[in-house]
Amino acid sequence: MGQWDRFLAPYKQAVDELKIKFKGMRRQYETDNINSPIEFVTGRVKPIASIYDKSLEKGIPFEPSEELATELQDIAGIRMMCQFVGDIETVVSLLRKRKDLRIVEEKDYISREKQSGYRSYHVIVEYPVQTISGEQLILAEIQIRTLAMNFWASIEHSLNYKYKGVFPDEIKLRLQRAAEAAFQLDEEMSQIRDEIQEAQAYFTEFKEAPGSHFPRNDDGGRKQR
């Protein structure tokens, strides 16, 4: 385990740093009283058990190595959630302009969804981590999706573990229908985007007034008592 701890330490550092930076982007929008395209940010380092499964799938040795670091591009994972489909392109454009990371690959699963119905936009980046041994370049996968897309993906991910990737036909069909329904929800919400954002601005002003019972949490999200 000591070898794995040393191997994964830079990935954990990359996730922590990127989360702070992307949350900072969201706060900058709030400071300027502009609707943020970023609703919230999460991140994780892929568990060793998942790394093992992925290494078997790719046919590479399950050991801390340069080959593993190159072939598994999502050991470090960041997820950026958006309210509207249109926000996703805005976030991608922001990433393209950053000087502290380099985009290696983009995968558009929104305009070209997977057969399962999965929709998301993936950006693979190379991010420099400063360690006591010097700079180390880390590959990280940034997933950008709406809240509806994330809800569907979370359910599909859980079912995938239950059925080991082989879904019964009925479940597969229902998942595909649910994915389309989630996307239709995103489309409908995009049509009334201005109304939604106006209402949210009013609500934010109300809950931040003296005596309000709706304080903000540390991440700038909504927190109800």
pLDDT at 26: 95
* HEC letters along 70-98: HHCCCCEEEEEEECCHHHHHHHHHHHHHC
Burial of 111 (0-12, 13-18, 19+ CB in 10 A): exposed
Which tops the pLDDT comparison, 189 or 1?
Answer: 189
pLDDT at 225: 36
| Arithmetic mean of pLDDT over the chain | 90
- Is residue 216's pLDDT more than 90? no
| Mean pLDDT confidence for 30-47 | 94
| Mean pLDDT confidence for 184-207 | 81
* Residue 95 exposure: Cα atoms within 13 Å on the Cβ side: 29
CA distance 117 to 137: 33
pTM of the model: 0.85
Question: For residues 196 and 86, is the Cβ–Cβ distance under 8 A?
Answer: no
Q: 2-149 architecture in CATH?
A: 2-Layer Sandwich (3.30)
Question: For residues 102 and 126, is the Cβ–Cβ distance under 8 A?
Answer: yes
Q: Residue 90: phi, psi to the nearest 5?
A: -65, -45
pLDDT at 214: 52
What digits encode the pLDDT tens for the residues 117-157?
Answer: 999 999 999 999 999 999 999 999 999 999 999 999 999 98
- Going from N- to C-terminal start, the domains of the chain cover 2-149
Which tops the pLDDT comparison, 173 or 217?
Answer: 173
Q: Tokens for 162?
A: 């239950």
- Is residue 189's pLDDT more than 80? yes
pLDDT at 210: 65
What digits encode the pLDDT tens for the residues 61-73?
Answer: 999 999 999 999 9
CA distance 64 to 50: 14
Catalytic option among 141, 156, 198, 208: 141
Q: What is the dihedral of CA 43, 49, 51, 53, to 10 degrees?
A: -130
21-25, 40-44, 114-118: least confidently modelled range = 114-118
- Provide the percentage of residues in the chain whose pLDDT is more than 90: 76
Which tops the pLDDT comparison, 22 or 200?
Answer: 22
Active-site annotation holds for 198? no
